[in-house]
Amino acid sequence: MKYRCTCFCKAVCFEVTLKSFELTICHCQMCRKLNSSTGFASIECGSSVIFNSIDNLVILTSSAEGERGFCNLCGTSLFFKFKKTNEYFVPPAIIEKLPESEVVFSEEIFYDNKPCYYSYSNKTTKRLESEFI
């Protein structure tokens, strides 16, 4: 099923097909800093992304491995794109009509980079940075 994604001000709009309803949180320093939070919460949608409104889309090459999309008007963090495989990961908050009761928080990545001042109560798979290098 396709889902519409929009930024806060709706200046950027795109459609995704979710691979599942599994939620992952990345604890790497870059994700925590760029999102001003405990990490980047995302759902994988593969390469099935159709952009409808991109005049205000800004793409930041954040590393050799990935790019991040933002709205240049409201600043909403829209996606992480893994360049090698062309896979997109989008935060659940931007997905319109997401059946939240079906979303399962299943994985935490770069877990060894998670600061000690928070933890989640969900039982998750915890993957270390060394698994990605």
Give residue-wise pLDDT tens across range 16-60: 999 999 999 999 999 999 888 889 999 999 998 999 999 999 999
pLDDT at 89: 97
pTM reported for the whole predicted model: 0.92
**Burial 58-74, CB ≥16 within 10 A → b, else e:** eeeeeeeebebbbbeee
Q: How far apart are CA 53 and CA 1, in angstroms?
A: 20
Question: How many domains, the chain?
Answer: 1
Write the CATH number for 48. Answer: 2.170.150.70
Mean pLDDT of 11-17: 97
Domain span at residue 121 reads 2-131
Question: How far is the CA of 60 from the CAs of 17, 20, 70, 76, 78, in angstroms?
Answer: 23, 26, 8, 13, 11
